[in-house]
Amino acid sequence: MLTMVSYSKPAWANAAQTVIDAQVVFKELGTAAVPFTASKDDVEAHGVTVFDAIVAAAATVPIGAYTPPQVSLGQQASAAMFGTVQLTSDATPALNATYEIDAESQGDLQAEVLAYETNGQFLDGQTTIQWPDTAGALHTFTAAQFKAFATAIGAYVGLLKSIRRTNALPTGMTSFPAATVTIA
């Protein structure tokens, strides 16, 4: 077990205030402070001891506020590509719902559009397609609606890929794109 000699710069390392980051000098490691993360539930006894000591002294050495990590635009775009989009159909409100846009869903969309373009029917042999929303409810799309839906999702995902690749918004865009698509 390590023995704490002193500490400085304590700050909460999570919003729940169960973990603290600090610069700690340990007797066994010499006189230089080392970055240390202490937890009230630490598996190492010295981690719990350091946490408790810092909390006990918080009145005289305040614990800094938790600062959430900065998420880059590229990271936001990557996360959004595994998310959902809200579809609004101006002509057919029954299609309005939230749909998955993860890689598997994108592949399924592409396969269905390719089947229709190649054979004049979807993979199940029909000329309309039932597509599930995130709640599992099926929505019936005509071929034209489904192609417009797939195209809109493709455009949204393409935009996300561009943001991920450049870690920047395209010229003229001032905020991260909303996860919404609209078709006729």
Phi, psi of 137 (to 5 degrees): -70, 140
How high is the mean pLDDT of the chain? 96
- Is residue 43 within 8 Å of 86, Cβ to Cβ? no
Mean pLDDT on 20-38: 96
Q: Give pLDDT, residue 1.
A: 87
pLDDT digits (tens, 9 = 90+) for 120-141: 999 999 999 999 999 999 999 9
pLDDT digits (tens, 9 = 90+) for 71-97: 999 999 999 999 999 999 999 999 999
Phi, psi of 24 (to 5 degrees): -125, 135
Is the full-model pTM beyond 0.75? no
pLDDT digits (tens, 9 = 90+) for 35-47: 999 999 999 999 9
Mean pLDDT on 91-105: 97
Strand 97-100 relative to strand 84-89, pairing: antiparallel
